[in-house]
Every structure is written in structure tokens, then in C-alpha cells.
Amino acid sequence: MQAALVIGIGNPLRSDDGAGALLAEQAAVITAADAQGPVAVRSVQQLTPELAAELAALEAVLFIDAWEAPEGLEPALIPLRPQPARLQSHRLEPCALLGLAQALYGRAPRAHLLRVPAQAFGHGISLSSSLQQALPKARVLLKQWLRELHA
Amino acid sequence: MSRTITVTPLTRIEGHARITLTVDDAGQLSHARFHVEDFRGFEAFCEGRLFSEMGAITARICGICPVSHQLAAARCGDKLLALEVPAAAQRLRLLVNLAQICQSHALSFFHLSSPDWLLGWQSDPARRNLFGLIAADPELARAGIGLRRFGQELIERLAGRRLHARWLVPGGVLSALSSDDRLAILAQLPAARAAAALALDRFVPLLDGVLSKELVSFGTFESLFMALVHPDGRWSCLGGSLRVVDSSGVVVADGLLEDNYANFLAELSLGWTYLKSPYYRPWGHPAGIYRVGPLARLNVCSTIGTPHADRELQRFRTCHGSAASGGRIVTASFAYHHARLVEIVAVLEAIEALLQEPAALEGPLQAHGPLAVREAVGVSEAPRGTLFHHYRVDRDGVLEHVNLLIATGQNNLAMNRTIEQIARTWIPWPLQPGQLIDEPLLNRLEAGIRCFDPCLSCSTHALGQMPLRVELRTSNGQLLAQGVRS
């Protein structure tokens, strides 16, 4: 059984929206370097229902997502709980995906969202200066989540 | 007083659209229209790029069927370079398209459409979704999730990523399927087959029961049907040539090559939607209305060619085949849902057959060569129907002209006929002034569109060719001003 999964959410071709994938890559580097337990890493452009089966087999999951936020806010690590939601197409919010896992497979993992404040979502592969300033704090929170995972 | 009833936004489809019903002074339906309101213009901004980039570019039109676009782009590239794709690469390409059809049909059937009939048209719209389905029938919901995951995982194991992989290229594919991946997928096949069987067991009896009126009123009409078939008439999702049949089962045209598509397909632009309306050119518009996708593929093929799927094909034709065709042709658009399940059975059998011959998946994977011709058309059967990519390039391979003929567009005329039939059948005409149409009826109109599982992201294009009409009307419908760009 896979113990934990880091899921970076977003489109790397949409400027700051690529922060999720970037931090997920860094999580992979950190876990490989520290030889910490079985943490898998994945990047997705959006959360889709079939991820529910994967989540149901996990102990813990960390979603990382850019968030269009007012200026001045900092990255935050937010605990999540499963919630029911409407599915009108094929994408889900993290809490709804957890709700799907709970409803279909009887369990959902312990879950957190690393929410990174972002301003620029236009076409491009570079990150805005404000997001770059937020990255060190986001990395601290990422490492904190990984540490607590193995505490 | 005439008035217009609008259903917007349409839910549980890929993209954004609107339905309008225009009611005349007598309270009778004048016409029903399906409006696609997003303008994307992909063809125009592809011009100036290298043809070899088209797989990557068009796959990013949306995340629903990137494999289909990559296949059509790769096949276009094969022709521009005059390459013979190695046999193993052809099989791997087929494998990824089968996986794509499986995951896409699962999304459409289980997630987007099944809540309507399993929970009921009258059910609370807030619960008429996947979560409602989970509460009502968790076993079926798990089956749907499992089938979609199966298809997605096979795509990922083949191409490295579920979305936007750079694996399908002109001349072949970039990598083989490992033995571990092949065995892992084979191990999942029994559960996938059981999921498909469960869905058929749950759904087919409803078509003789609570859904029998929907079956005859959700777009049941005569039209042409078009799809790829193998030379012996077997079902195909990649390779072969195009066949057109009519509602009586007569083969109207056979052995059509995609290179000549403009000779037998014409594209009509209408002023009230960004979605083009192709028709079969020899029959003209509107007689040349045709349908593509799962229903068309099952109508067009002689057989599927695998035992379980052929049994299901026979049951499909026995259940829904029209009397006029001797039970051979199914004209009901509502049967698209049943057709998707039959195709899931078919693709699972085809995947198994391919995976059980590992030696045939090995060997050279890509051919190489210089630019040989300046114009080519590539075709594949996407989950929603036949997909054409047409490129013309300069001597450096830079695109000078691009035309994408998308399955959803090819079903546009049929979708409009479908909502008009639903409106005439299910709404109590004449409408009295101020009389409202209740939500279950409006949902039936939406469900008529969902039969076709439209994906609007890539089907709205043709920058510079779109006639545009802007009308300014008072609230009682009086026209104050209009501007027309032709």
C-alpha cells in the first residue's frame, strides 16, 4: 500500500498556475534526497474522479495548488475534510475528491492543501515575482508536511 | 406574443452552450436551436507552426480527447513524410486509441449521463450527478470509476502521461510497452470486463421500460451515418476507409479516402452558433445530415470482429434496429448510450487480443524521412466520431493551411434535430402566456445533447469564415437593429 501522495495541481503553461507542478517536483527531490518513506508524486492539470480509487488506498495526501489571492497573503497549509459536491463535468475540488473516495471506497486519506497565493494565470511558463517571493515559505510548509508524515 | 425559452448553461457536457426554443404567437414551437458560444479559432493560430508540432498543439485544445488529435496529427505527418509506420507502432497506436475510447465512454456514460435515468428525470437536480449515483448505486459508480481509470492508466503506461504525452509522432511512436506494464494491464482486464457487463445489465432493461419513450423521442430520425471500417467491413477506430450508410441500411458510399473528404463532406456555417454544420455533400443540405460516433460506427460496420462484442452488437440491433432497415440500423440517438457500452466491450476485447501477442508489439517503432508531399489529411475515430486533420505545408514543413473537422461538429445538425424532437414531444404545446417549463423537461433537452457527448473545445473554429449576426430586440421580440457580417 502506498503511504502518501503529493499531487501538484495546475497547468505549467499558465504562469503561476504551474506552482503546483513545480512544488510537486521539488517534493520528489526532497523525498529522494532524504530517503524518507514511500511518498509518490504526481502532477495533474485538474483532479478527476478516477483519482478517488487511488486516494482510498493512501494514508495521507497533499494537494498543492495555486490560488488567485489578494496581494499580501502567504502560502498556507490547510487541513481538508471530505465533502460531497456536484460533478457537472470531469473536474473536482480536493474536498470533493476526498468525498468521492469516502463514498465509493469507504475511506479517504488524511489530507492537506498547500495553497500558494498567485496573481498571474495568463499564457507563459514564468512565475510572477510575487509568487516567486512566496515559494520559500511554500517550501517550508512542504517540508513540514513531509516531516510530520514521518513523525 | 412570441417568446424565447433559453436553457443556459447546459450542464454535464464538455464546453459551454445554450439551447433556445422560439415560440410563435399561437404558443407553438417555431424552432429549437443548440448554440455553441465559445469561439476558439485553433486552425488559424496553428498556421505558421511546423506540422510536426501539431500533435502537441492540438492535443492541448482540451484534456478530453488529446489522443485522438495526436493520432490524426501523426497520421497526417506519416503522409507528409511518406512513411510506412512499422507494424509494432501501428499496434501500439491502436492500443492507445482503444484505451482512449474506453476512458472517454466511461466518463460520458457513468459520470455525465447515467444520473438522469438511474436517479430519474424528476429527481433533485442538486443530487442528479455522480454523488447521487454513488448513493443510489455505488457498485455501478465504482464500475464507472474503474473503467475510466483502466483506460487512463493504459494511456499513461503507453505514453508516459495521461494528458498531453509526446509519444505519438509522425512515423510511429517513441517507446515500447514494457513487459511489466503489459502484464499489469492484462491483470486489470477481468475487472474492466465485469464493469462493462454490469453496466449493460443495469441499462439495457431500462430501454424497454422506463426509458422506452425517450428511446423513440430523443433524436429518432432518418439520417446518414459515417465511420471508418476495415476493408472487410469490420468495426475500426484506426485505419481502413470511410463508409456511409443510410437509415435503411443501404451502403451509400464505401471505400472513401480521407484525402478526398472535401469531395463528400461540405461544411455549413450558421449565424447563430460557432459550431460548423457539416453535411454529406452529394445529398446537399439538409438531406445530407449524417451522424458520427458510437452509434454510427455500430450502424456502419458489418461486424465488430470479436465474440463478446459481436454478441452485444447483435443484441443492440435486435433491441433498437428500425423496422425499415430490417433491424439492421438504429436511428435513435438515445441509443448512443447503449452503443458506448457495446464499444467498451469491443475495446476491452481488442486490448486483450493485442496484449496477448507481446512479440507483435516489439520491433522498430518509428520510421524517418524527409518531407515528401505538401498536403495531407489524417483521420482517426475519436470517441465522439470521425476526426479529420488536413494540413498544407511549405517546403520547410511550416503550416500554410489547417482544417480540423471535428466529430461534435459533424453531429451538429443531428443535435439540433434532436432537441427539436424532444421539445415537440415532451413540452405541452401550446404554451400559455407566462407558462413555465419545469426543470425535468429542461433537463430532457440537455440530455438530448448529452446523447452525443459533445466536446465543444475543439469543434468551434474557422476564424474568418464565421458569419456573425448581431440582433438588438426589445423584450417583446421587436427587432430594433441588426448588423450582419458574412
Mean pLDDT of chain A: 89
Is the Cβ pair B131, A13 closer than 8 Å?
no
Q: Do B383 and B256 meet the contact criterion of CB atoms below 8 Å apart?
A: no
Choose between B359 and B466: higher pLDDT.
B359
Q: What is the DSSP string of B281-336?
A: GGG-TTTT-EE-SHHHHHHH-SB-SSHHHHHHHHHHHHHH--GGGTT----BGGGH
Shortest distance, CA A36 to any CA of chain B (angstroms): 25
B35: in domain: no
Strand partners for A64: A8, A114
Taking only the tens place, the pLDDT of each residue in B89-108 is 999 999 999 999 999 999 89
Q: Give burial (CB, 10 Å; 0-12/13-18/19+) of A19.
A: buried
Q: Using DSSP, state whether B163 is helix, strand or coil.
A: coil
Question: pLDDT averaged over chain B?
Answer: 88
Q: B394 in a domain, yes or no?
A: yes
Query: Measured between CB atoms, does A107 come within 8 Å of chain B?
Result: no
Which amino acid is residue A46, in one-letter code?
A: Q
The alpha-carbon gap from A101 to the nearest alpha carbon of chain B, in Å, equals 10
CB contact residues (below 8 A), chain A span 41-70, against chain B: 44-46, 48-50, 52-54
- B222 phi-psi bin (left φ>0, alpha ψ -120 to 50, beta other): beta
Are A86 and B111 in contact (CB < 8 Å)?
no
Q: In this complex, do B112 and A50 lie within 8 Å of one another by their Cβ atoms?
A: no
In a domain, B480, yes or no: no
Please state whether beta strands B265-268 and A110-118 pair in parallel, antiparallel, or not at all (unpaired).
unpaired
List, in order, residues 6 or more apart from B318 with CB less than 8 Å away. B327
Total tally of structural domains belonging to chain A:
1
B64 touches chain A (CB under 8 A): yes
The predicted structure's pLDDT at residue B125:
80
> What type of residue is A35?
A
Closest approach of B100 to chain A, Cα-based (Å):
14
Question: Is B10 an interface residue toward A (CB < 8 Å)?
Answer: no
* Chain centre distance of CA B461: 17
Q: Does B141 touch chain A (CB under 8 A)?
A: yes
Q: What is the grid cell recorded at A72?
A: 499580501
- Measured CA to CA in angstroms, residue B356 lies from A72, B153, B219, B345 at distances of 58, 18, 40, 17
pLDDT of residue A20: 96
Neighbouring CB atoms inside 10 A of B235's CB total: 27
- Inspect the interface and report whether the beta carbons of B131 and A46 lie closer than 8 Å: no
CA distance B153 to chain A (A): 10
Give the CA-trace dihedral at B95, B98, B103, B106, to 10 degrees: -150
Across the interface, whether the CB atoms of A104 and B152 are under 8 A apart is answered: no
Nearest-Cα distance to chain B for A71, in Å, is 30
Q: Is B210 part of a structural domain of the chain?
A: yes
Cβ atoms of B462 and B43 within 8 Å: the answer is yes
Dihedral sign, Cα of residue B357, residue B362, residue B363, residue B366: positive
Q: Is B45 on the interface with A (CB under 8 A)?
A: no
Domain with residue A109: its CATH number is 3.40.50.1450
For the CA atoms of B383, B68, B93, B55, the dihedral, rounded to the nearest 10 degrees, stands at: -170
**Residue B430 lies inside a defined structural domain of this protein:** no
pLDDT confidence of residue B7 = 64
pLDDT tens digits, B28-47: 888 888 888 666 678 888 99
Q: How far is CA A72 from the centre of its chain?
A: 21
Beta bridge partners of B4: B22
The answer to whether A99 faces chain B, any CB pair under 8 Å, is yes
β pairing state of B168-169 and B172-173: antiparallel
- pLDDT at residue B112 greater than cutoff 90: no
> Chain B contact for A95, CB < 8 A?
no
Rg (CA), chain B: 22
Burial of B465 (0-12, 13-18, 19+ CB in 10 A): exposed
Closest C-alpha to B59, from B197, B160, B147, B164: B164
Instruction: List all residues 6 or more positions away from B47 whose beta carbon is below 8 Å from its beta carbon.
Output: B399, B400, B401, B402
In this complex, is the C-beta atom of B188 within 8 Å of any C-beta atom belonging to chain A? no
Whether B229 shows a pLDDT value over 70: the answer reads yes
Average pLDDT, stretch B412-433?
A: 90
Contact A53 B13 (CB under 8 A): no
Say which of A84, A89, A99 has its CB closest to residue B14. Answer: A89
Least confident stretch, B25-34, B107-116, B304-313, B407-416 = B25-34
What is the interface pTM, i.e. ipTM, of the complex?
0.79
Is A90 in Cβ contact with B111 (below 8 Å)? Answer: yes
- B97 neighbors B156 (Cβ within 8 angstroms): no
Task: Give whole-number Cα distances, B293 to B26, B229, B334, in Å.
Answer: 38, 13, 13
Residue B26 grid cell:
399561437
3-state secondary structure of B384: coil
CATH of the domain at B351: 1.10.645.10
| Domain span holding position B330 | 42-410
| Domain total in chain B | 1
Query: Which residues does chain A have within 8 Å of residue B152's beta carbon, measured at their own beta carbons?
Result: 48, 50
Nearest CA of chain B to the CA of A42: how many Å? 10
Which positions in chain B touch A84 (Cβ < 8 Å)? 131
Contact A41, A146 (CB under 8 A): no
Report yes or no: A104 at the B interface, CB cutoff 8 Å. Answer: yes
Q: What is the pLDDT of residues B118-149, one digit of tens each?
A: 899 888 887 888 788 888 999 999 999 999 99
**What domain range includes position A65?**
4-149
**A140 CB near a chain B CB, below 8 Å?**
no
Distance from CA of A133 to the nearest CA of B (A): 30
**For chain A (length 151 residues), average pLDDT per consecutive 10?**
86 93 92 74 88 93 94 94 68 88 93 95 92 96 90 70
Q: Which residue of A has its CA nearest to B453?
A: A89
Place of cell 455533400: B281
Cβ-in-10-Å burial (0-12, 13-18, 19+) of B318 comes to: exposed
- B11 and A87: CB-CB below 8 Å? no
